[in-house]
Amino acid sequence: MTTYKLKGLLQNTGWISPAYVSVDETGKISSVSDTSLQKPDYDLNCFAIPGFQNAHSHAFQYAMAGLAERHSTSQTPDDFWSWRDAMYKLALSVDPDQMEVIATMLYSEMLRHGYTRVAEFHYVHHDKNGKPYDHLAAMGERLVAAAENAGIGITLIPIFYQKGGFGKDPVEAQKRFISADRESYLKLLEASGDVCKNYAHANVALGIHSMRGVEPEIIKEIALDGPRNLPFHIHVSEQLKEVSDSLAYLGKRPVQWLLDNCALDARFHLVHATHLTEAETKGIALSGAHVVLCPSTEGNLGDGIFPLLEYRNLGGKWSIGTDSHIGLNPLEELRILDYGQRLTSHKRNTFYAASEGDSGKFAIDMITKSGRKAMHNFSENYFAAGDFFNAALIDADAPLIASSGLQNLTATIVYSTDVSMQCGVISHGKLISEKNNPDQSLKIKSDFVACLKKLANRL
């Protein structure tokens, strides 16, 4: 048994201060209290909030973070589609060892920023010639190993990627991604589930790349007749071109087609869903499906702004992800998301719980519960006996934190802190910080730098 003493712990009903959390040998919470008769094993001058859930990640893309900001001076527009060409070049070059090294560095950085679990939207499945490895989930296995190396939980989402666009064959640059048909994908999904058994904090979910990436009738078949006990992730309506191409091919916008054909419910997690009509926004919210928003990447790629204010008013549920990892701070993701809504609505209460009026509390509540569901975790309690102890830690001595009363603490954390005020995480009951294990941190960093120098994509 290990006991942590904290300056404060955020529960669903508010702050406990001080807080004592005892965990068993597996990292599961045995008790939470504001008093303790025994001396704590760790006395942390920190406030603890639920560990952040990163509901959308492409790990290999971390190797190109920041590289797409040198733009051509020609008249050719630089947009999502030109960025995608650069991403494809990287995807064609990464081998399994490099995938594991890149992901280990990335996941370590996620932990440093307060994430304790990641949903890995994984589509680099095959070798550099586009042939499946003898072990179908060889690349996914490396991602699970990277998560274990770093100490983060992972939901591996092997992605079904079949087409090069609506009604189009895949192009050469997509050859590492492709599953020819439903049966091939389901075999990959099964193999991915098997590799998740190698790590106690790994599980599997189902994923379709996009409406343009798989023949729509097969999407429908998998949605209605495929595994129904897993979260279902899909990119949708991220770009205006995708919407216009869908109208031309299907006669319907992507989200409307999903609403009409796939019986959306709470197991669906629609990534981006940027360009929606009022009817689509209402349809997602009323179906119980979730959206996964990635504000730093969506801003970086010029995707657009999700209609969050309207969606919120309809009771819509949403989580956040870091996608291409141009940004890794969950609090920054929340601020970008909120401020985009404020700038377009000219209102300040876009994050707002009608019962409390606390924008910070509302944001944490939403991304905790919806993010967990994206990972097949349905616990509604932030810290409950029997659940793993996963927490992001905020320095209680940071001046703005130290001077705030409990009623203002959550909003201060969400709107006024940066990574310098974060002092590690507790992941599955284990305290993780660079100070605790400097040798491991140094090795992860040196391996990553050596890997990228070998890839030579940043030179």
Catalytic site includes residue 113:
no
Q: Cα 25 to the chain's mean position, in Å?
A: 28
How far is it, in rounded angstroms, from Cα 367 to Cα 334?
9
3-state helix, strand, coil in the chain (%, to 5): 40, 20, 35
Burial of 13 from C-beta contacts in 10 A (0-12 / 13-18 / 19+): exposed
Catalytic site includes residue 323:
yes
Comparing CA positions, the residue from 7, 35, 31, 11 lying closest to residue 21 is 31
SS3 236: strand
- CATH 3.10.580.10 is right for the domain spanning 52-374: no
Contacting residues for 355 by C-beta, under 8 A, at least 6 apart:
none
Burial of 199 from C-beta contacts in 10 A (0-12 / 13-18 / 19+): middle
Kind plus residue range of the DSSP H or E element containing 291: strand 290-293
- In the chain, what are the domain boundaries? 2-50+386-433, 52-374
Longest dimension (CA), the chain: 71
Best CATH choice for the domain 2-50+386-433 from the list 2.30.40.10, 3.30.460.80, 3.40.50.1370, 3.90.950.20:
2.30.40.10
Query: Which residues make beta-bridge pairs with 160?
Result: 208
Comparing CA positions, the residue from 369, 339, 265, 422 lying closest to residue 50 is 369
Q: What angle do CA 37, 43, 45 make, to 5 degrees?
A: 130
Beta strands in 41-174 (DSSP E): 42-50, 52-57, 115-122, 153-160
Structure tokens at 344: 């377009």
Comparing CA positions, the residue from 235, 316, 252, 232 lying closest to residue 281 is 316
pLDDT computed for residue 353 by the predictor = 59
Crossing angle for the helix pair 438-455 and 96-112, to the nearest 10 degrees: 130
Give the single-character DSSP code of 354: T
Q: What angle do CA 234, 266, 268 make, to 5 degrees?
A: 5
pLDDT computed for residue 77 by the predictor = 67
Give the single-character DSSP code of 371: H
How far is it, in rounded angstroms, from Cα 58 to Cα 334?
19
Among the options 125, 245, 290, 323, which is catalytic?
A: 323
Structure tokens at 279: 């009817």
Among the options 125, 272, 325, 428, which is catalytic?
A: 272
Contacting residues for 171 by C-beta, under 8 A, at least 6 apart:
164
Please identify every stretch of the chain with a pLDDT value under 70, giving residue numbers as ranges. 75-77, 81, 353-355
Q: Is this prediction's pTM over 0.95? A: yes
